[in-house]
Structure 1
Amino acid sequence: MKADMNEFWQEFSVPLKNFIRKRIANEQDTEDILQEVFSRVYNNIDSLRDDKKIYAWVYQIARNAIVDYYRKENRPVEFRELTEDLANEPEDDLSVREEIGSCLKVMLENLPEKYKQAIILTEFHNLTQRELSEQMGISLSGAKSRVQRARVMLKEMLLGCCHFKFDRLGNIIDYTRKDCNFVEPEA
């Protein structure tokens, strides 16, 4: 496979760069991460057991490189993905979802750091809870617990600030704000 790296570059460079660019605001950092991903692929291609899984393998390397980027510099995670995902929703649900998405950003920022990091890595960077445990150096049950607690905290914050109306499938169709101040969760 190492001999085919030029073909590999031709096939993966543009889609991988777009994938990274969605998660990293700085163009130079995007380029650096792309080079890091290709370096990791080149150095570890012989460990790929099933060539049919190369796409999943390469994108997992990219996700890990992005996580490493944020962790290395202790940089705040960008939340651009949340609004991009919301933009793909049906037009009539868009404004409600955008407003709730904006509230979620604030609520995420107010989570205790260990819970914020757990929910961001699993929900926005698509890490499994097992991968989260490996990345954070904690047990699998500890990772599961952090993600679950973060979800509960976010749910409590959302329900504490708003009354929601749901359709028959459980999708939020409308909300009204409660007359209360936002309360930070306890750690």
Structure 2
Amino acid sequence: MEKTAKIWSDFSDRLLHFISSKIPNTEDAHDIRQEVFVKIHTQLDKLKNDAKLEAWVYQISRHVIADYYRRHYKATQDTNPALEVMADTSEQNLAYQQYAYCCLEPFIRELPEKYQQVILLTHQGHKQAEIAHQLNTSLSNVKMRFQRAKDMLKKDFISCCGYHLDAHGKLTGEQDCQRECKH
């Protein structure tokens, strides 16, 4: 409890600022900060190296923000029609999940049609074998198109939004979008 209080003292204001830069609603930002500190408190025993505390705290924050957007858009039925396709797991590709609703759809519309089709059909729940049959092409071709589409989208996020690739090829970083997004 004492360590959590110290973390609150050290990070509370900075985290609220960080969260508020990602979440436009002030009340939601405060709720998310609270949720972050609950996770910090309950998972503090998982932190093995105190020197990595700050990175760990911000990692938890990014995960909670991503969860917020997933919940928010599922609840309003206003999901982005490819957002879930881009994430391998709930903890990967956070750059796609955070604010992707702003740029992802325009980026998908800019893809060549054969790549657009694969991304959108995958999101609609079609298996890749079904997509291959529907598009009258091979399964390996569908898999290749899907991977190339993801690679093109990564390049778009890197050039427009200020993300970069981590050692595992996943987008990471803070959004610094060059587009005028309409939220």
TM-score of the superposition, structure 1-length normalised? 0.46
TM-score of the superposition, structure 2-length normalised? 0.47
